[in-house]
Chain A
Amino acid sequence: MRTRTSRHWLSGVMIGLTYLAAILATLPLLLILAHLIGKGASSLSLSFFTNMPKPVGETGGGMANAIVGTLILIGIASLIGLPIGIGGGIYLSEKRRTPLAHTVRFLSDVLNGLPSIVMGIFAWEFLVRPAGHFSALAGGAAVGAMMIPLVTRTTEEMLRVVPTSLREAALALGYPKWRTSLSVVLRTALAGIATGALVAVARIAGETAPLLFTAFGNQFWSTSVHEPIAALPLQIFTYAISPYDEWHAQAWAGALVLITIVLVISLAARVVTRSRFGAAVD
Chain B
Amino acid sequence: MTAIPADSAPKDRRRLAVHRVEIGDRIYEILTTACALVVPALVTAIAIAIFAAAWPALTKLSASIITSSDWDVGAGRFGAAPALFGTIVSSAVALVIATPLAIGVAIFLSEFSPRWLRQPVGFLVDLLAAVPSVVYGLWGIFVLIPMLREHVMPFLRDTLHLGATPFFSGAAYGPSMLAAGVILAIMALPYISAVSREVLLAVPRSQREAALALGATRWEMIRDAVVPYAKSGIIGGIMLGLGRALGETMAVTMVIGNRPEISASLFAPGYTMASLIANEFSEATSDLHLSALMAVGAVLFIITLIVNAIARWLVWQVSRERAI
Given contacts A122-B49, A177-B25, contact A262 B247 (CB under 8 A): no
Identify the interface centre among B36, B218, B244: most chain A CB within 10 Å of its CB. Answer: B36
Q: Is A161 part of the contact surface with B, judged by Cβ < 8 Å?
A: no
- The minimal Cβ–Cβ distance linking A191 to chain B, given in whole angstroms, is 18
Say yes or no: is B40 at the interface (Cβ < 8 Å to chain A): yes
B130 — which chain A residues lie within 8 A by C-beta? 202-203, 262-263, 266
Name the one of B107, B219, B254, B274 contacting A11, with C-beta atoms under 8 angstroms: B219
Cβ contacts B46-59/A at 8 Å (1 or 0 each): 10011001000000
Whether A125 and B108, one on each chain, are in contact in the complex, defined by CB atoms closer than 8 angstroms, is no
Complexed CA–CA distance, A125 and B301 (Å): 15
CA of A206 to CA of B124, assembled, Å: 18
- Is B63 on the interface with A (CB-CB < 8 A)? no
CB-defined contacts of A100 to chain B, threshold 8 Å = 33, 36-37, 40
Q: In the assembly, what is the distance between CA of A235 and CA of B223, in Å? A: 48
Contact between A26 and B124, CB atoms less than 8 A apart: yes
The residues of A with any CB-CB pair to B shorter than 8 Å are: 7-8, 10-11, 14-15, 17-22, 24-26, 28-32, 35-36, 39, 83-88, 90-92, 94-95, 100-101, 103-104, 106-122, 124-126, 145, 148-149, 152, 176-179, 181-182, 202-203, 205-209, 212-213, 216, 233, 236-237, 240-241, 248, 251-252, 255, 258-259, 262-263, 266, 270, 282
Interface of B toward A, CB cutoff 8 Å = 21, 24-25, 27-29, 31-40, 42-43, 45-46, 49-50, 53, 100-105, 107-109, 111-113, 117-119, 121, 123-125, 127-128, 130-139, 141-143, 186, 189, 193, 217-220, 222, 240, 243-244, 246-250, 254, 274, 277-278, 281-282, 293-294, 297, 300-301, 304-305, 307-309, 311-312
CB pair B282–A213 under 8 Å, yes or no, is yes
Is A88 in contact with B24, judged by CB distance below 8 angstroms?
A: no
Q: Which of B37, B42, B128 is packed against the most chain A CB atoms within 10 Å?
A: B42
| A206 in complex: contacting residue of B21, B34, B132, CB < 8 Å | B132
Contact of B132 among A8, A233, A241 (CB under 8 A): A233
| A262 / chain B contacts, CB cutoff of 8 Å | 130-132
Q: Are B189 and A101 in contact (CB under 8 A)?
A: no
A113 and B244 contacting across the interface, CB-CB below 8 Å? yes
CB <8 Å contact, B101 and A25: yes
Contact B39 A108 (CB under 8 A): yes
